[in-house]
Homo-oligomer: A and B are copies of this chain.
């Protein structure tokens, strides 16, 4: 063990506290006084551990991202594209409404800095959001090669669509929407999902023999209230 006085606080706990502050007040809105008070440490301790306010924020983002990665992994291992889409939006709805009561509503990647004095923070957040969209897109392309998503569909657009709805859900959550309301929105958004043998949603559909373009599997899903 290295010499010197040991750190008197738990880094992860302190980061969690800081996360809440950034989440509630945004990057710029969170002052050092707010942060040190919530974290229960003094400014020099903060600077010794994280270097700067931006360093602290990046550490917070990194920790937050780890949780998001866990979530995405659980989503991406779903057996088919439609299930991936459903788990993703339902999970986002659940998370954004904060049924656990541990986080503020919405998503840190939106709340903490959609816009800012210097553009570095928003760009960093956009990069994080884009990573998840990329993961979805790659998963959907894989689904096409596996055959459970129509070749005619546009994986990039579908991934963008899911990301769009997810971000929208997070905004609604911030505005006070309930978990059930968010789930309903997610459910609605999934009605547009293309399934094998169905029409694609992103380009002109060719007429199909059954005249409606929806596979019987889709129809039965609809009848059962599933999407």
Chain A interface residues (CB < 8 Å from chain B): 23-26, 28-31, 106, 110-118, 122, 126, 129-130, 154, 157-158, 160-161, 163-169, 171-172, 174-177, 181, 184-185, 187-192, 199, 201-207, 210-214, 216, 218-219, 222-225
Contact = CB atoms under 8 A, between A and B. Distances in A.
Given A189-B165, A214-B212, A184 B171 contact: no
A190 B164 CA distance: 13
A114 B213 contact: no
Contact of A25 (B117, B164, B187): B117
14 contacts: A24-B115, A26-B116, A28-B117, A30-B117, A111-B115, A154-B184, A157-B181, A161-B184, A161-B189, A164-B168, A199-B222, A205-B225, A212-B212, A214-B214
Contacts of A106: 114
A185 B211 contact: no
